[in-house]
Each structure stands twice: as C-alpha cells, then as structure tokens.
Structure 1
C-alpha cells in the first residue's frame, strides 16, 4: 500500500443498532420519543454478537497486529446501548476514540407517532418515493442525505489533519453505529449512487454489519469483505456490483468510464467521437435551415 494511504482507515464499517422496542412493536412510538426507544433483550444480545464479529474481523490479519478502532455513534439511546455492548469485545488500548455524532441520527418521522396515521403516511410515501417524501413535522431521506454529506466532510477533515493522532504503523478502522436508512444514505453518498438506485436498496437487519474496505489502489469497496450474493440481497444491481468489484483494484481518483448511471440516463444518443458529433451537428443545422426556409415560404405565401 502506498505511503499516501497509510493514514486512511483500513475499513469503514456501518453497524445498525440491535432490535429495539419500536422494531418489536410500533405502538412504542406513540408514547415514547423515537430517540428514547430502548433495545430489547434480544437486541442487547445481537449487539454483543456484533461486537464479537467486529473484533474477529479487525484482528484477522496477523500482519497487522497493532490495529486500532475509532467509533462514531448516533445519539439515540438504542445506538448508544448497541455501542456499549459492542465495546465489551474490545480492550481500552484498541479504542482510540468515541464520538457522539448527531448528523448520523435516525430519519425524523415527526414527534409522537399516531399508529394509524403513520401507517397511512407510509403508504403515501411508497407512491411518492422513499427518497424525496418528507414526513409531516419530520424529514425526507433527502434531508438525511444532506446532513450525512456534512458528516462525511468532517470525517475527511479528521483524516486529512490527523486529528485522531494516529500512529501510521497502526491499522485504523472506523465503526459507525447508526440506523438503517442513515446507513443506506451513507453508502449512497459515498459511492455516488442515484436516487433510483437508492430506492431499490433494502434495509440492513438489526446489528447487521456492512464493511467498506480499502483496496490496494486506495479506493474503498464493499466487494472485498462481502460476497456477490450479499450485495444482491442488499438490493445492488448488477452494474452496482460490477462497480464494487472494479473498486477493489482501482486507484484513488480514477473514473470508471463505463459507469452507466452517469451517462446512459442522460446522453443516450451521444456520439463516440468529436468527428461524429460535428457531422451530426452539421446535418442537424442543415435540417433546421431547410425547415426554417419552408416555414418562411409558407408565411410569405399566406
């Protein structure tokens, strides 16, 4: 790995919180504020198991024994409790920092939620579109995208300025303990997925882990740690999976020329060369001139 990549985190890992009282029974939201919803006993166990899986993953490379981890966590009770259980698998020397980060909180669905009204509202969202629909008194996924984008800018500044005071001989890992939609939006922003691609994504399960790992060229990919079957199950299209596989060996800053969602949806008749483009433009000018001449003749004769 190049020296430019030494301070980059080896992995950026997204973890959804464990099963919550709201996941078990949506009635909980009618009497308890969303940020106060607690984990169930099953959710606490899921979080502890997630911690064991994380520890196993981070310590799996014998050539990098001096690995470290930095946690970012949503301020909601269920994410804080998830992190607390995850932390049981780590010693203090392995954790170089923990930051509570409001910008990675759950999508705001409003205040106390009336069950029947929320059910009707979610039906409207399915017709309107999950990304742009804004809940009354709450947020849209597009609003979440904006604050996650701001969080990512801060994350990169922390890396660039080495605010974590990271020893370059240590392998750095970021773990972001957050929520289902927030994690999907994070991936959307990072990999520049479109709104249409976001709409097809499936929510991660409780305490599910999604690993973005740094390739040799300095780009991150989901395809290093996860199988193609997993990516399909998450809702990634064949083109998105191919992009993840390309990123495994891509060099930081490279552009994937055949990335269909950047060109095909907008320029489906684009010429392959400047010469063809100029020829097409000349033919179009001739056609426009002929049409205008005919229109003018009609006006003179009328």
Structure 2
C-alpha cells in the first residue's frame, strides 16, 4: 500500500576444542536483564576494560569503585525512546532535487526548519514533566536534512539538558541509488508497488529488507548502550533520561518492525510519519517500552497497527524485561490458518 503520512541465518573432522556455546538474546526480551559473563571475558578486570562505563568515579579498572565489584543493579533504562522524522526537505517538495544533489546533501526547506523547531518544543514539553533532572541523548542520521533537524530540535534545550549526541550512519535513509533519473524513479516506484515495498531493491540501492539488516545491528548497539548505561555520566543513575532517534520515515518504521518483531505484512500496513512527526516508545509499569503509554489505540490504528499489534502493545505496557508474549509469538492465524478453518467448519 502507498505510505500515508502520520503525525504526532564424508567423515567428520577431528575435534580440536569444545566450541563455545552461543547464547541468543533478543532485544526487548532481555533488555535490562543482567548478562551472565562467560568465557568470552577473562575475569571482571577484562570486562571492565571492554566496558569502561562500568567504572565509577576515581576507580581503576576493576577496582573497588567499579559497578562490577559493587554489584550494583543495572543502570536505569531511558524513560523513552522517541523516534523523530526529519522536517520537510527540498526533496519532499521537489523530486527533481535528487537529480541535481546527492541524497545525503538534501537540506531542509524553511518550512522544514519550522517543523524541527516545533518538534523540539513539543519534545521539551514531553520530557520536562518528569522532574528536575531530565535529559535527552540523540542518535542522528548523518544526512544533511537530519543533522539540520537535530539543530532545530536542539534550540529547545539548554546545554546541560543534552546528555550527548552520536552520529549513526545505520540510521540513514533507504538508499535509492546515486543521482536519480526522475522518470526512471517514477517507473521504479511503480514496480515496487507490484513487487512488494519491503523486498524490492532499487537499482544501485537498497530494499527495506536491506535497511532491516543494518537496523538489526544498530538495535544491538542501542541495547548494549542501554545495558551498560552509556547515557549516564560516571556515578549517576538518572531515571529521567530520554533517547531520541532523528532519522527518516522508512528507517524509523523498520526500527519499530525490528524492535517489536512485526511481520512483513504488518510493516507494509504502516503509515509514514509526517515531516517533523514523532512516535514515542515509553516504559510501562513493568519496565518494557510500549507505544500505548503515550499514544492512544486510535492513534496507533491511524499509524497502521492492527488489533493484534495493539493487543501486544497492551501486553508490553505491563510486562517486565525478560518476559515473552507467547500469545503474539506466532501472530496466530496469519500463519496457521487451519485453526480458523477448523473453527469455521465446526
């Protein structure tokens, strides 16, 4: 479906050594659950060298002041992960811009700057109700329009409210190829509609499935950053931290798809965020991130979530990290239609 705008993997060889056991951990299901240290680390000193964020102020690696030796609980999770789409760009109002300017250098229009500043004011109102110590940490796509959007957002915050910024290339826009021929792109987009929006790969570019692969890597980085408290200054445990991803429409939808394990068909039913629009993942009562903490069910339906997806968000709203929603794990009849066929014939 066309995206609509939405606002706010002979004889055996002789054994050499025992293969290390592989432990698979999956995003939100284990986020915030302390990790068991295995043979990959040679003691706590080595782990402290790999993750200096574990070290408290004035403590040597692995010393008495480290989080490892004090056996403190994991750092508090950011209260929110806010996904922000860039403001209106020159390419949004004139597709011919892509024939003259490389996609990464497409900037904001004057309206796009207003979009960014308005979103910044909205974001400040959202997070400032948490208390006196709230802060924001930004991940941003390196494209010009997202960097400019970040600068517009930043005008709403004083320096001490910004915990940090990281430029993250994996949050870049879907690659549509290099300089684009306008007529050829029109034809390619029509072919994509017939082929399937998720799997169609643009010539010399990417499919949404390719974006999914790199977002998987970013999600692992984000999860590790949350687990080790990279957003927290040494010695601090601020529960009112907020993470903001400034990126692009499709990339943000793929991020949500990967985080919540949505299917391809569920992804293809999602709408695009408006320029300067945002969607909020916020911790619920049990500590997991749910879209239903900030947004209403009607808003999520407008964004494209089905009733099954909304029911899962309701579960996410109350569940704890490490728990699994076994009622959502197979998405029910979408895979095993013989269950509904049996009910129908009975």
TM superposition score normalised by structure 1: 0.85
Larger radius of gyration: 1
- Which secondary structure state, in structure 1, belongs to the residue aligned with residue 96 of structure 2? helix
TM superposition score normalised by structure 2: 0.74
Encode CA deviations 1:210-232: one digit per residue, 9 max, x unaligned.
00001121211001101112111
* Pairing of 1:177-192 with structure 2 (within 5 A): 177-192=246-261
Q: Which of 125, 130, 133 in structure 1 is aligned with 2:200?
A: 133
Output the CA distance in 1 between the equivalents of 2:292 and 2:117: 25
1:100 aligns with 2:178: no
List gaps (5 residues or longer) in structure 2.
Answer: 1-32, 34-71, 340-346
Q: Which of 144, 151, 155 in structure 1 is aligned with 2:218?
A: 151
Distance 1:267 1:5, change over 3 A: farther
Output the CA distance in 2 between the equivalents of 1:180 and 1:265: 26
* 2:14 alignment partner in structure 1: none
List gaps (5 residues or longer) in structure 1.
Answer: 271-302
* 1:285 alignment partner in structure 2: none
* 2:303 alignment partner in structure 1: 234
- Which secondary structure state, in structure 2, belongs to the residue aligned with residue 264 of structure 1? helix
Q: Which of 185, 190, 197 in structure 2 is aligned with 1:118?
A: 185
Q: Which of 38, 41, 65 in structure 1 is aligned with 2:132?
A: 65
Output the CA distance in 2 between the equivalents of 1:112 and 1:231: 36
Output the CA distance in 1 between the equivalents of 2:196 and 2:320: 35
* Cα-Cα RMSD: 1.7
Greater fraction helix = 1
1:221 aligns with 2:290: yes
Output the CA distance in 1 between the equivalents of 2:84 and 2:289: 17
Output the CA distance in 2 between the equivalents of 1:165 and 1:258: 35
Output the CA distance in 1 between the equivalents of 2:125 and 2:332: 41
* 1:292 alignment partner in structure 2: none
Output the CA distance in 2 between the equivalents of 1:153 and 1:257: 23
> Which stretch shifts more, 239-248 or 198-207?
239-248
